[in-house]
Structure 1
């Protein structure tokens, strides 16, 4: 059986996918917002885990956050400034 969290993940992914397919104007902002929210949730989860279990931050986790942040900066800059994106997502 699918849990509520999995159901909501599928629902959000479906909205993102359909807005991409139908070239909706909201897609770039929705995509950026979704990934910023995911990054903030991951950082909060990591912080709470360290505080509860009194562990130090593992190196792979830190590099994961760095890679995610760099990727988010690159893609958000492209989605917000590209003429091709503005010409594609017009509806």
Structure 2
């Protein structure tokens, strides 16, 4: 799956990836189908974004009191196109 999907090999170190395969291997899930392309990029992605926003709420609530720093980091991809990451450090 990693090679055929052109995923990074670091995915194999991700505990969620490992746990998902362990769970499936240890439980007979007859008829189970993983989420499809559209569900993964719409419904499930929106649900995950909402979950991340809920987890960030306590951190964001301190920004008015403690302040933040906007940090950027520049990269280039394999085709030498510039990529800029912006992060907030609190």
Give me the TM-score of the superposition, normalised by structure 1: 0.29
Higher relative contact order (Cα pairs below 8 Å, separated by 6+ residues):
1
Give me the TM-score of the superposition, normalised by structure 2: 0.29
Name the structure where strand makes up a greater proportion of residues. 2
